[in-house]
Structure 1
Amino acid sequence: MTLAAEHGLDWTSRIDRRGTAAGPRRSWASTHPFEPRATPFNDSVGLRWADVAASYQRVALSIDAAVAVAVGTAIMVPLYGNGPHTAAFAAAAAAGFVLLVAIAHGYEARTLGDGPTEFQAVLRAGLTGGMLLMGVSYTLQADISRTLIFGGVPALVLLSLVGRYAHRQMLHRHRAKGYSMMRTIVVGERQDVERVVDDLARAPYHGYHVSGICLPSIDRAEPLDGIPVVGALADVPQVVVDRAVEVVVVAGSHLSGEGLRRLSWALDRAGAQLIVVPDIIEVARPRLTVRPTAGLSLLQVEVGAPRRRMIAKAALDRSVGTALMLVAAPVVALAAIAVRLTSPGPAFYRQTRIGVDGRTFTMWKLRSMYVDADSRLAGLRPESDGAGVLFKMRDDPRVTRVGKVLRRYSIDELPQLLNVVTGDMSLVGPRPPLAAEVAEYDDPVHRRLRVKPGLTGLWQVSGRSDLTWDESVRLDLRYVDNWSVTMDLVILWKTIRAVFLGSGAY
Structure 2
Amino acid sequence: MIINEEHTSTVAARAARWNHVAPTVAAVVVDLLVMSLVTYGAAFGRMRLPFFQETGDVDNLLRAVGVPLVVGWALVLLVTGAYASHVLGAGTTEYKLVLRGTLIGAGVVGVVCYLAKFQFSRGFFFLLILLGVPALLLGRFLLRRAVHAARRKGRLAHRVVVAGSSAQVDEVARVLGRESWLGYQVIGAVVPSAEAAEATPGGVPVLGSTARTVAVVVDSDCDIVLFAGGAVESAQQMRRAAWELADTPVQIMLVPQLTDVANDRVRVRPAAGLQLMELEGPRHQNASRISKRLFDLAGASLLLLLASPLLLVTAIAVKVHDGGPVMFRQQRVGRNGDLFDCFKFRSMVVHADALVAAVASSNRHGADHVLFKAENDPRITAPGRLIRRFSLDEVPQFLNVLRGEMSLVGPRPPLPGEVERYSDDVRRRLAVRPGMTGLWQVSGRSDLSWEDSVRLDLYYVDNWSLVQDLAILARTIGAVLSSRGAY
Q: TM-score, normalised by structure 1?
A: 0.84
Give the unaligned 5+ runs of structure 2: 48-54
Contact 1:183 1:246 in 2 (8 A): yes
Cα distance, 1:308–1:375 mapped onto 2, change above 3 Å: closer
Q: Which residue of 1 aligns with 2:63?
A: 87
* Equivalent of residue 376 in structure 2, options 381, 395, 402: 395
Tell me which amino acid in the other structure corresponds to 2:378: P
Residue 200, structure 1, aligned to residue 179, structure 2:
no
Q: Distance in 1 between matches of 2:413 and 2:110?
A: 46
Q: Which residue of 2 aligns with 1:169?
A: 145
Q: Distance in 2 between matches of 1:174 and 1:93?
A: 32
Contact 1:39 1:242 in 2 (8 A): no
1:303-342 matches, cutoff 5 A: 303-305=281-283, 310=289, 312-342=291-321
How much has 1:307 moved relative to structure 2? Answer: 7.5
Tell me which amino acid in the other structure corresponds to 1:59: A
Residue 433, structure 1, aligned to residue 410, structure 2:
no
- Please state whether the residue corresponding to 1:183 is helix, strand or coil: strand
1:282-293 matches, cutoff 5 A: 282-293=260-271
* Equivalent of residue 59 in structure 1, options 11, 26, 50: 26
Residue 98, structure 1, aligned to residue 79, structure 2:
no
How much has 1:436 moved relative to structure 2? Answer: 1.9
How much has 1:162 moved relative to structure 2? Answer: 1.9
Q: Which residue of 1 aligns with 2:482?
A: 501
Q: Which residue of 1 aligns with 2:207?
A: 230
How much has 1:417 moved relative to structure 2? Answer: 2.4
CA deviation string 1:452-476 (max 9, x = no partner)? 2111122112221122222211221
Q: Distance in 2 between matches of 1:113 and 1:443?
A: 35
How much has 1:215 moved relative to structure 2? Answer: 0.8
User: For this pair of structures, how many residues does the alignment match?
Assistant: 470
- Please state whether the residue corresponding to 2:246 is helix, strand or coil: helix
How much has 1:497 moved relative to structure 2? Answer: 1.6
CA deviation string 1:463-502 (max 9, x = no partner)? 2112222221122122222333333333223222221111
Q: Which residue of 2 aligns with 1:23?
A: none
* Equivalent of residue 465 in structure 2, options 484, 491, 501: 484
Cα distance, 1:350–1:141 mapped onto 2, change above 3 Å: farther
Cα distance, 1:326–1:352 mapped onto 2, change above 3 Å: same
Q: TM-score, normalised by structure 2?
A: 0.87
* Equivalent of residue 275 in structure 2, options 284, 292, 297: 297
Q: Distance in 2 between matches of 1:318 and 1:153?
A: 31
Q: Which residue of 2 aligns with 1:466?
A: 447
Q: Distance in 2 between matches of 1:372 and 1:92?
A: 70
* Equivalent of residue 364 in structure 2, options 362, 385, 394: 385
How much has 1:239 moved relative to structure 2? Answer: 2.5
CA deviation string 1:303-329 (max 9, x = no partner)? 232987755544543333333222222
Cα distance, 1:146–1:342 mapped onto 2, change above 3 Å: farther
The root-mean-square deviation of aligned C-alpha atoms, in Å, is: 2.9
Q: Which residue of 2 aligns with 1:184?
A: 160
Cα distance, 1:127–1:369 mapped onto 2, change above 3 Å: farther
- Please state whether the residue corresponding to 2:193 is helix, strand or coil: coil
Q: Which residue of 2 aligns with 1:269?
A: 247
Which structure exhibits the higher relative contact order, with contacts defined as CA atoms closer than 8 Å and separated by 6 or more residues? Answer: 1
Q: Distance in 2 between matches of 1:194 and 1:298?
A: 26
1:405-420 matches, cutoff 5 A: 405-420=386-401
Percent identity between the two aligned chains: 39
How much has 1:190 moved relative to structure 2? Answer: 0.8
Contact 2:319 2:325 in 1 (8 A): yes
Q: Distance in 2 between matches of 1:258 and 1:314?
A: 50
Give the unaligned 5+ runs of structure 1: 1-36
How much has 1:410 moved relative to structure 2? Answer: 0.7
Cα distance, 1:151–1:374 mapped onto 2, change above 3 Å: farther
- Please state whether the residue corresponding to 2:39 is helix, strand or coil: helix
How much has 1:116 moved relative to structure 2? Answer: 2.9
Tell me which amino acid in the other structure corresponds to 1:424: E
* Equivalent of residue 475 in structure 1, options 438, 453, 456: 456
Q: Which residue of 2 aligns with 1:365?
A: 344
1:15-164 matches, cutoff 5 A: 39=6, 42-45=9-12, 48-77=15-44, 78=47, 79-80=55-56, 83-131=59-107, 147-148=123-124, 151-164=127-140
Contact 1:356 1:450 in 2 (8 A): yes
Q: Which shows bigger deviation, 48-57 or 117-126?
A: 48-57
How much has 1:401 moved relative to structure 2? Answer: 0.7
